[in-house]
Structure formats: C-alpha cells, structure tokens
Structure 1
Amino acid sequence: MAQKRRNVVPIIEDARHPAKYRMLVSMVDVIFADVAQPDQARIVGLNASFFLKAGGHYMISIKANCIDATMPAEIVFSNEVKKLQADELKPAEQLTLEPFERDHACVVGGYRMPKKQKAVTAA
C-alpha cells in the first residue's frame, strides 16, 4: 500500500520506542495502531505525543486477551479507553469487531481537540 500511496509511511520499528524513529516521521494527521501488546493504549498515547498533530485523529484496535485474558472484554475496553483519555486522546466511537474477531474492539477519536466555541448571539 505504501508504494501506491505516498502519504502512507510504514515503520518497521518497535512502537514502544518512538524516539528511535522520530527523525523518519514528521507530524501526521492520523495514527492507526494495531499492536498486540498489553500496554497498547500507552503506546498510542506516546506516539501521539511525538507525531500526532493537535486536532488529529487516531484509530486503535484493542485486543482484550492481549491485555488481560482474565477480565471480561468489555471491562478491558473500558479501562483502555480511560487510559487513552488520560493521554488527551478523546474517543468518538467504539465498535466491537464481533463476529469477525472475538474480544476485539476498534476505537476512533481525536487528539488534543480544540475547545468548541460558544455561539455568540446578538441582542
């Protein structure tokens, strides 16, 4: 896909260490994360702080069994969303991937979203 689309940059590096590849990537509009790691929300938050523009968007595929196989998937998803929120990642939508993938969810949202301005009405 990266050969056909010049705005897609594949990074073959450990996502847990964005400082190792920060010289290869400029600020981006979107981060897509599909990493099967117990700390995947932290990985997305860290990479967002390095590369994602304020007002940019993210998409993360959460694999509940990779995080904690002893807890119900819905609780794992909820805990991961809270971690994302702590890193200024504001979830907009969450979808489970059932029946295609068991105990998987996809969360999309924005990063450091600008505050909405209140409408001014004339008197």
Structure 2
Amino acid sequence: MEKLRPLDCPNVLTDGTYLYSKNLVPGNSVYGEKLQMYDGVEYRLWDPARSKLAAYLLLSEKGCDLRQNDVVLYLGASTGTTVSHVSDIVSDGRIFAVEISKRTFKKLMANVAPRRNIIPMIGDARDENLMEGILQKADYVYCDIAQPDQVRIFLNNMLQYKCRSGMLMLKCRSIDVASDPTSVLSEALKEIKDKNLYADAPVDISRYEKDHYAILVRRTTR
C-alpha cells in the first residue's frame, strides 16, 4: 500500500485517488469495500465514485468540520454507504440516520447493525416533528435527499437542532430540472445567507456525481 497522508478530517487518510477511513469495527466490511492495513491499523477503502462526501473531501482537500465526538443528524442515509464512513469519523459520537424508504431502510439496518454509534430511523426528513422526544440538539446535520425543497429542509434542521455546521449535497436537477445548475446554486447560497448562516466555497462534485455541489455551512465565520 502506497504512502498515505491525513486529511483535515478525523480518522481519514488519502493516497490522492481514494480515501481510507479507520475501521470502527475491525474485520467488518459494510458494502463489500476492501479492508487494508496501514501502520498496523485497519482502514476501509472509501471510493469517491460511490460517496458524495468522499468526492467532496478528495476534491476540496479540506475537512468537512466533522469531529470525533459529534452528534450527527444524517438525512437521506440510503443503504448506509456514506453514513458508515461518517461512523468511522465520529467514532466517539452518535449518528441519527434517517431514511424514508422502507425497503432501503431494511438494507440500512442490516448494513450498520455492528456499528454502535449509528441509530437508524425510518421517517420523512420533511417532518419537523420527526425527532421529537429523541433529539434536542445536534452538532452537525448532513443532508443528501432528492427533494425540490431540500435547501429549506436542510436549513430548518440546522437551525432547529442548533447545529454548529452541516453539509448540504445540493442535487440541482431535483430542485429544478430545467434551470442551469449554477442558477440553482446561486439561489441556494442566497437562502443560506438569508438565514444568517455562512457557506464555505461550494465544491462542484460533478466529476463523480453530475449536477451536484457540496456546500459546507456554518453558524459562524471561521
């Protein structure tokens, strides 16, 4: 295995082509990814072609402001590919992983069962009462949902749970199939600013996921 270097993200290394997350559950492969040893520690191959967050981290070469003990609200967990790597990153934290599809949720449950820090939840991210009695505050919200009002959903959750920061995977064609993606991006950035939140420079991840931008949003400037 060639020389790896750390990213500004806990428990993640890169060789410039792929990422590798330190396996929270040694010996466990979540979705068939390769397990590799490096300096006596087991890592999981994290392919940017299969994960938008991996694409963001690789293309930006900067962190996503996730911390090891964060409480994360993850909207759009799907079958658990990316959320399992977030589990490696926030190894001392917790992730509330929300998925709307019953069929997909069953796969999510099976895939993340060995991971003590993931709490799978079935529900609709648009439901403002979804986490009532379960979660009062989170450190981070991650939003990867195909909804026309995905920006509003992301911002509402970030403010409702007083998150320090969050990651919005902007699916431009889900918002407006006819508009130019840059116009959709501009409108999203305006919505973020209108809520008195601060967006880092958006990262175009179209090399891996067409018409998608990753936007790191913070409550305060750096």
Matches within 5 A, 1:10-21: 10-11=97-98, 12-21=122-131
Change (3 A) 1:21 1:60: same
Q: Secondary structure at the match of 1:59?
A: strand
Deviations 1:25-81 (A, max 9, x none): 13111110001111111001111121134xx01100001100111111111111111
**Which stretches of structure 1, 4 residues or longer, exceed 2 Å deviation after superposition?**
1-6
Deviation at 1:10, TM superposition (A): 1.4
Deviation at 1:3, TM superposition (A): 7.9
Higher RCO (C-alpha under 8 Å, 6+ residues apart) = 1
Report what 1:52 is aligned to: 162
Select the residue among 61, 71, 96 that pairs with 2:204. Answer: 96
The answer as to 2:127 corresponding to 1:40 is no
Match status 1:62 vs 2:170: yes
Percent identical pairs in the alignment equals 22
Alignment pair present for 1:7 and 2:117: no
Q: TM-score, normalised by structure 2?
A: 0.46
Q: Give the superposition deviation at 1:20.
A: 2.9
User: Which deviations, in whole Å up to 9, do the C-alpha atoms of 1:70-123 show, x marking residues without a partner?
Assistant: 111111111111112212321012101121111100000202x27x8xxxxxxx
Structure 1 residues not aligned, in runs of 5+ = 117-123
The root-mean-square deviation of aligned C-alpha atoms, in Å, is 2.1
